[in-house]
Copies of this chain bind each other. A is one copy, B any other.
């Protein structure tokens, strides 16, 4: 992994080139080592939906809390039903402990079974039982569903709506979940105004998808002191700066990061988005992404999003459905660089590249159905290859 650069070394790098780009694998390893899930906070069960549990959730009571009818019907004593059949219907009115019940009702005193409505008939005006029931039939016993002391939800579990219903039914009020990371977003560029900053509103939507809370700020000028001041502000769990990441004369962001803290990675062997930097300032991880929206998106999806997902406690892997599809045309990629290759699914279900390499147009991202991440050790794929395609929108929404 490249060692940290000083501001002096960096200013001599601008308008020359990146000294030593990190590989994508090195970059992911840096993120996974540097960034751990945030501490837990407790929330109500339904507020926990979509969050990740920060500990095992233990059932404090039984569910159901009492014996209850499992079906709509009649609660009775099983012994009274012996011999009932289509040929020997027994009028229900003759039975003791008889009571009509709805599913979920407490089983009345004296009854030990619930017969379903379907096993009765009332052709003659009185309701008759046409089948015998065994003791316990149609009854759900206390603790059958969940017994006190068991763990319905383990640690690091995504809480689903039905989970919240179960926890509420169990009376578990405080659910420990991983705190949602505050992700501070800012674009860098003297030419930018809030209305022309496309990166931070785009990233805000992606941060929310990945479990973070986006905190957008107005654009910063190309001014190293202003960027350093921004990086010194407390309160964020991750800072993402978009723009000024490259090698131009106005590209001061990586240099400012080195000045405000530590620049751990400067440049990644990834196309587009080779100008990504990562580091630390004020004790918080910082990602510098390219300002061009298409490269910014590639950089977020391949690198920065992983940091957000790590903080939020979820899996750091790509949050996309991945399918193996066949290439309709070859995918060309230079060896030595990982390639975020946008692909389109053809009418016959194969994939064709829309763009790869250093220049990414926003339209190639918009027209794409997904992407293939071409590994650095591979110079693309020939036509007819099976490639793993990460789908931007699951097929059920297309």
- Listed in ascending order, the chain A residues whose CB lies under 8 Å from chain B are 15-17, 46, 49-50, 52, 63, 70-73, 100-105, 117-118, 120-122, 127, 140, 144-146, 152-153, 157-158, 160-166, 168-169, 198-199, 201-206, 246-251, 290-294, 297, 314-315, 317-321, 358-359, 361-363, 365-367, 392-398
Chain B residues within an 8 Å CB radius of A152? 363, 366-367
Nearest B residue to A249, CB-CB:
B100
Shortest CB–CB separation between residue A105 and chain B, in angstroms?
Answer: 8
CA distance A73 to B247 in the complex (A): 8
**CB distance B117 to A15 under 8 Å?**
yes
A224 to nearest B CB, angstroms? 16
Q: How far is the CB of A142 from chain B (nearest CB, A)?
A: 13
- CA–CA, A323 and B314, complex, Å: 21
> A102 contacts B249, CB within 8 Å?
yes
What's the least CB distance linking A395 to chain B, in Å?
8
Contact in complex: A362, B102 (CB < 8 Å): no
Known A15-B100, A122-B16, A393-B160; judge A398-B201 contact (CB<8 A): no
Complex CA distance for A287 and B119, rounded to whole angstroms: 27
User: Which of B198, B297, B361 interacts with A145 by CB under 8 Å?
Assistant: B361
CB within 8 Å for A251 and B72 given contacts A161-B206, A162-B202: yes
Q: Chain copies in the assembly?
A: 2
Nearest residue in B to A70 (C-beta to C-beta)?
B359
A366 contact from B104, B153, B294, Cβ within 8 A: B153
Q: How far is the CB of A13 from chain B (nearest CB, A)?
A: 10
CB of A384 to closest CB in B, whole Å: 23
Q: Answer whether A103 and B165 are a contact pair too, CB < 8 Å, given A15-B127, A63-B363.
A: no
Closest to A391 in B: B321
Chosen A-B contacts, 11 in total, with CB atoms closer than 8 Å, are A15-B100, A16-B117, A52-B397, A100-B248, A117-B248, A145-B363, A153-B366, A161-B205, A165-B198, A318-B396, A321-B321
Residues of B within 8 A of A292 (CB): 103-104
Give the docked Cα–Cα distance between A146 and B292 (Å). Answer: 15
User: In the complex the two chains form, is A393's CB within 8 Å of B46's CB?
Assistant: no
Q: Are A361 and B144 in contact (CB under 8 A)?
A: yes
Known A16-B117, A394-B321: A362·B162 in contact at CB below 8 Å: yes
Contact A166 B362 (CB under 8 A): yes
- Beyond A71-B359, A117-B247, A319-B396, list 7 extra A-B contacts (CB 8 Å): A16-B121, A103-B292, A104-B292, A157-B398, A162-B365, A165-B293, A166-B366
- A72 adjacent to B144 (CB under 8 Å): no
Verify A205–B46 contact, CB threshold 8 A. yes
> Chain B residues near A358 (CB, 8 Å)?
71
- CA of A201 to CA of B47, assembled, Å: 10
Find out whether the CB atom of A102 lies under 8 angstroms from the CB atom of B251: yes
